Structure 1
């Protein structure tokens, strides 16, 4: 009985401690949640600030370059080097530019040009992937076609048009043919360079893990060569865009109207302001696509841990 009494007294003495401990744990948990909420709020604000800083840091160099280019353009006009009807200034060109981009005919032309560009670039990517994958994996093909691919890459796209017109006449196929030949070698070389610079230790590790053939290429070599491949895609797009503009100036198909056709018509009619407006649109499209490739490249570098988040 004495032992039971002592046990009950001890339990009564421990009960306040357990109650106080539970209350302390509850208060500590509440405090942790409040601190976490404050941290989340602070981090959210910091994220928004960093986003604004990134946006501004990306925009101000572009805006500065545009302002410098416009100032240089105006300075050339003020110098009197050419007559205003030959080389109009920004004040005379920008109203024409605005009239052009607000017309339906202009946007129909842009749509046709972009359709050709996307289709040609997609075919070039497929061709470049196949050629790059084969050449990078087989030494015989590397010796046979490695220099040829580089030679095709350096060949001016406009040199292909006489042959393209002879083979396909004045048709969409002629333009597509030259766009593919202009872009595919750069894409293939980008993939080949990425495969060549894949660390050998990664290849050995992949083979130890059982990767062979297509599996090794798909799960290891392609991800490892992705940065170089994206650089090849970016360069391939530049060649495809230049080839397309040359093709639209040389190959006029029926009554279709594209950016190249509008540019050619403005030149024939000596409408320099219209011509410069179309050139500005071509330049802007090129810059926008370049920025998209830049975003893709930055995302890849962040995933690889070689760029700041």
Structure 2
């Protein structure tokens, strides 16, 4: 039987980690290897993880110094022995037939990557929201272009997270999550899309994301958020190279809006220096994009290159 390595980074998740691990242990018709990566937790998480590892042969616990989710996932990739890889966060959990459904789809459609759906819940399990996968991608093998199209959909975020997917292990050979940043999922999307030759989208709830009030993604805006702007810059560059100009323009807009927000909110010298560097790189992208878009968008990109503040004023005036 094919084995799935489930990589779970854990940092101070004592309130939800048992539910998370139990959801993997109760999976049907699959063989799992559970890698619990303790990322320097300071609560009771390490003791809980050791308890599970001592009582289950298919669980390994590795303790490391705190380095963030990306470093924990990278360590998990180094240690994984399975034929497939599945990522899960320590405060989330999966449906009881999630892994078997993903594995069946991978076998049936010879998919290098199977992307499932997810929902958001409160910590007590109360449902907050189910997401909708558009018809063109629902229960289908999709092209790389449609992967990026799906990434741009406002109705779903299934291609912006890593914990709904089953990967053939060879797809992730040599892939590394970018360490020391937030938005690490943003940086790795190019690797996922470029390496997976066949991508299948499964319209089934795989993961319940539990929304805690102290999530990193809901903390005040600071210089670390510029990592998102950098990730989108790299993505736009990649998409231009692929000839996906509409998707490049969409991601340029997303990244440039975040750059404007940072320009307004972050006034310290270090942040402003990084903002200026990113603005230069975005201006270079705007020049390249201008040859591949409509006249209206050419004007927009030209204005962006001339002056960031003026671009923001005109943009807001046109939207009002």
TM bucket by the smaller chain? Answer: under 0.3
Q: In terms of Rg, which structure is larger? A: 1
**Per residue, is there more helix in 1 or in 2?**
1
**Per residue, is there more strand in 1 or in 2?**
2
**TM-score, with length taken from structure 2:** 0.23
**Which one scores higher on RCO, CA 8 angstroms, separation ≥ 6?**
1
